[in-house]
Structure 1
Amino acid sequence: MIALVTGLDYFDNAIFSFFASHIAGGINASPDELVWSSSTYAMAAVLGILQQQWWIDRVGHRRYVSGCMLLYALGALAATAADTSLQLAFARGLQGYFIGPMMGACRILIQITYAPPQRPRATRAFLIMLLLGTSLAPIVGGELVAHFTWRAVFACTVPPALLFSALAYGALPDSGHAPPEERTNSHIWPYVVFAFAQGALQIVMQQVRYQLFLSSPSLILLSFAGFASLAWFARQQWNHPSPLVRMSAFRQRSFQVGLLLYVFYYYITTSFSYLSSRFLEAGLGYPVENAGRLTGTTSLIAASALFVYLRYAKHVTRKKWIIVPGFALAACTAFVMSRMTPQVSEAQLIAPLLMRGLLLLFIVLPVANLTFRDFALDDYTHSYRLKNIFKQLTLSFATASVIIVEQHRDALHRERLFEQASPLNPSFAQTLDTLTRGFAAAGHAAGEAQALALASLNQTFLRQAAFLASLDGFLFVAGVAVCGGLIAAWQKAID
């Protein structure tokens, strides 16, 4: 049951990231407007993680997980019915608050529910569903978008969410209740201050694309207010006897390094998901179901390596020997993708997509072993919530920044390509003439034939620009992976 809920969480994140462009087109939203949906989801998820213990103290694990699944389903219905970017942002915020904390809640449940001899088996099921959720999202989403509309991306999560809500209520232990005198305080003002800090920094991140940061007093003021609020929140929580989340985990060097490597991984994999979709569909012209099937199938094949990892990784005592090659694999995969040509065959795409699917095994699993190994159970729950807060913020930042990079490069390549669309360019003039004669031979009038030829060339330019922008995005991700690998190689805390 715990594994199923986690699988749905990862399925939701993967399907939204992969089909973001289809969702944006469905509600007639620009990529920048769609970013607000991602940001709202992350902000709400972080606030949900902060309040997680408050809810569990009062309703227990069973009602908390069951209720979150039920209300997440309502959020999915709201997203399905959304017609504007504002409505979608509200719906995604509702979803984020209730499903965003689920991975942490379920992972913590494994620690407190299962005895040590049973825990490896439960963790194995947890990891399998995590990988299945991520891998199946492109396949299922591709078929649904191809045969229905973008709304099916959200609608398909409603039945499993309702089912898991019922199963959680019947299967999970009724544990976690705390006596009134031992319950976590509501922390209203710290909660409000943290929400303000998140909102301020998200606005700055969104607007910095349009305004020069140093020449905009409003952005500078918002940044200062956001970071000052975060600093106050961290200090208040650090000194509070019963905090929402314990900051003392940051005293552990291994936790600091592990958290940083987690951030790099989540940034890389989220960027890969978005860029792969854009590369296959907008750049190469793959039908959405073919793109989803190719990406999902290669992820499923790569996920089977989990059993090899679980069998042999325990014999590698220095986890750095796995983590650093993992970042090298990520950089190599992104670089290979950045060197693709428009004539690339599907067979040539299989190897880099398989390599991308191995990143979780090479980075996340060994990092997880090192990050939380020194914590007792109570400290583990708080440190894991901290990790999930950083995860949600990284997913939001990755989605926003990769869209900004991709859109900037797309605009640049469009400008350069359209500069070639001149009668003075012999190649362009010859291509236009050939297309015009082809349409005229098909029975179109001369004026109509030329208009159709120009429209055809326009579509070609747009596809070429999208293709080149995707290549630039992959090169950017390769640089991020190299930085992550260098940091991992330099650190001694992960030996």
Structure 2
Amino acid sequence: MKSAAAHPSSMPSVANGSEAHAYETGVRRTIITLTVIVAAMLELIDTTIVNVAINHISGNLGASIEDVSWVVTSYAIANVIVIPLSGFLGNLLGRRAYFIGSILLFTLASLLCGLADNIWTLVFFRFLQGIGGGALLPTSQAILYETFRPEERGAATGIFSMGLVLGPTIGPLLGGYLVDYFSWEWCFFVNIPVGLLAAWSAFTFIREPKVRHKVQKIDWTGIGLLAAGIGSLQFILERGQSKDWFDTPYITWFTLIALTSLVAFVWWELHTEHPAVDLSVLSRSKNLAIAAVLTFIVGYGLYGSLFVFPVFVQRLLGFTAVLTGLVLFPSAMLTGAISLPLGIALQKGASAKLMMAFGMAAFMVFSWELGQQTLQSGAENFFAVLLLRGLALGFIFIPVTMLAVTGLHGRDIGQATGLNNMVRQLGGSFGIAITNTYVAQRVAAHRVELAGHMSAYDSAALERLEAIKQAAGARAALSPADAENLANRALEGTVMAQSYHLAYMDAFMLIAVLFLCSLPLLLFIREKKGDQGHAPEAH
């Protein structure tokens, strides 16, 4: 491997914005790598671990399902506000101190969530947990990239991508196990020993960068506009479907707040001298701009499909939460297993464009195949399809994550990782919100279509209805009128089950079409031959 001296990008230079930096080696580098991966996975696991405990929390705290859903919403809102500010806050507080403080806040909030005795206390502490957790993903990524030399970032990206995929997949499996065998509080208590260990390891082994970009002035206006805009947008995406979107006045008001605040935020950050979020990095790095679009699409597909699949198999096929997690787990393990080899291949000269083309095509096929499943499908029917998902995510995440930081140095890395993680989070939120709305619309459409066959002139429907009536009358000795009512309800249940099944299949195929339409974006990536790590340049 060539030394750092052979690469101008790793030497101190005013022209290219890089800085003198001591890269880690040996055991210390291994421990730092494990520390940041564990911290990132804590954040990602907690985005999904609580989802399977909603019903238990509702019963235990005496709250409605709608109120309990704020446990998920508050965490997501806090996450999406903090993520793009992580680069700024790391410069303000020092990246090492900010990272350790975020882990400790996340851990303390986890303890307080588990001890909460009413729903709104839990929601408040969950918001605090989201503030701490939101910093972990981009800051972990920035620390990892500063631990490895620029020519080794392919391997670093491969290692980091393991956590990106394993976290959201482990969450439901771990949550289902803890809820089934312990109690919902353990979905939060499980973070405490891991968080304390990660904080100790970060305090002991992670160093503050030699050159720290001190914040000369705090951009309170930018922070306020970002919090109002992104927070309102996340709230709309989380709550819009359950509130019939713009039929609810406050959803309309929050939409206006989001649009106004975000437009003002972009204008302000591009014109102020000391921006909290340096959006100009997007113009300095065309790589990052294209990576942001692709990352949004990947977030849409990943979280959209991960939202529909558990609902489909649990509601219609009768899977338990644990079985659902077990079915998804081999897919995530495959992604983890291929991440490091793909990262190494990328830094040795493999084509990032071809990797992403294969990955997006494979994810398209995976989504399409899920859209062909039936109500008779079992766990064995999903094994090969989900392995294809795991393969696809490996080939997508590695190059697109590396693309976002190619050619960047110093504080630009912190800004890039924050922006890239924010668009993935927003992509996931859009994916869940749009998929949820689309499913609801398709259920209604399919129900009308299927109900059209239930008439006095449809012989198949009449035969089915008569068979149900006779079976009901024979088993329960019901009167003809009661048997007919029971048969009608049973037939209506069958129609609704079929309507949901067809709607879920439509949702999977919509994701497949999105990935197909996104493939031309790869044509805008132009790879520069001869660079270490085969770093792509976008034009």
Amino acid at match of 1:470: Y
RMSD: 3.9
Residues 89-132 of structure 1 show CA distances to partners (whole Å, capped at 9, x for unaligned) of 54443222111121111111123345668877665543434443
Give 1:262 deviation, angstroms: 0.9
Letter in 2 for 1:52: S
In structure 2, the partner of 1:336 is 369
Which residue in 1 is equivalent to 2:281? 249
CA distance in 2, matches of 1:406, 1:373: 38
Deviation at 1:284, TM superposition (A): 1.9
Any residues of structure 2 matched to 1:262-341 within 5 Å, and which?
A: 262-341=295-374
- What does residue 104 of structure 2 align with? 70
User: Is the 8 Å Cα contact of residues 43 and 393 (structure 1) preserved in structure 2?
Assistant: no
How many angstroms apart in 1 are the aligned matches of 2:407 and 2:46?
A: 31
Shift of 1:306: 2.3
- Once residues 56 and 366 of structure 2 are traced to their aligned partners in structure 1, the CA distance between those partners, rounded to angstroms, is 27
Q: Is residue 135–residue 297 contact of structure 1 (8 Å, CA) maintained in 2?
A: no
Q: Partner of 1:136 in structure 2?
A: 170
Distance 1:78 1:137 in 2: 19
Give unpaired runs (5+ residues) of structure 2. Answer: 1-34, 527-536
Contact 1:209 1:404 in 2 (8 A): no
2:268 maps to 1:236: yes
Give SS of 1:245's match.
Answer: coil
Q: CA deviation at 1:167?
A: 3.8
Is 1:366 the equivalent of 2:399? yes
The answer to whether the 8 A contact 2:53-2:179 is kept is no
Q: Return the TM-score normalized by structure 2.
A: 0.77
Q: 2:194 aligns with which of 160, 166, 170?
A: 160
Paired with 2:464 and 2:188, the residues of 1 have a C-alpha distance of 43
Of stretches 223-232 and 355-364 in structure 1, the one that deviates more from structure 2 is: 223-232
Distance verdict in 2 for CA 1:58–1:374, change over 3 Å: closer
State how far apart, in whole Å, the 1-side matches of 2:433 and 2:119 are.
15
1:421 and 1:76 map into 2 onto residues whose CA distance is 52
Distance 1:117 1:254 in 2: 17
Distance 1:202 1:385, change over 3 A: closer
Map 1:396-435 to 2 at 5 A.
396-417=429-450, 426-435=459-468
Q: 1 CA distance for matches of 2:186 and 2:466?
A: 43
**Are 2:386 and 1:353 equivalent residues in the alignment?**
yes
State whether structure 2 residue 293 is matched by structure 1 residue 260.
yes
Deviation at 1:477, TM superposition (A): 0.8
Aligned partners of 1:100 and 1:392 also within 8 Å: no
Rounded to whole Å, the distance in 1 between the matches of 2:453 and 2:385 is: 33
| Alignment counterpart, residue 29 of structure 1, candidates 51, 65, 86 | 65
8 Å contact kept, 2:161–2:336: no
**Amino acid across the alignment from 1:126:** F
- For residues 334-353 of structure 1, the C-alpha deviation after alignment (integer angstroms, 9 at most, x for no partner) is 11111222223433311211
Q: Does 1:193 align with 2:229?
A: no
1:43 to 77, 83, 96: 77
Q: Counterpart amino acid of 1:29? A: I
In the TM superposition, residue 424 of structure 1 has moved relative to its aligned partner by 6.8
Going from structure 1 to structure 2, the CA distance change for 1:289 and 1:202 (only over 3 Å counts) comes to closer
Q: Say which of 99, 111, 115 aligns to 2:133.
A: 99
Q: Which has the larger displacement, 415-424 or 302-311?
A: 415-424
Matched to 1:48, the amino acid is V
Deviation at 1:385, TM superposition (A): 1.6
Mapped partners of 1:422, 1:24: distance in 2: 43
- Which letter maps to 1:329? A
Instruction: Give the direction of change, closer, same or farther, for the CA distance of 1:23–1:183 in structure 2 (3 Å limit).
Output: farther
Instruction: State the SS of the aligned residue for 2:375.
Output: coil
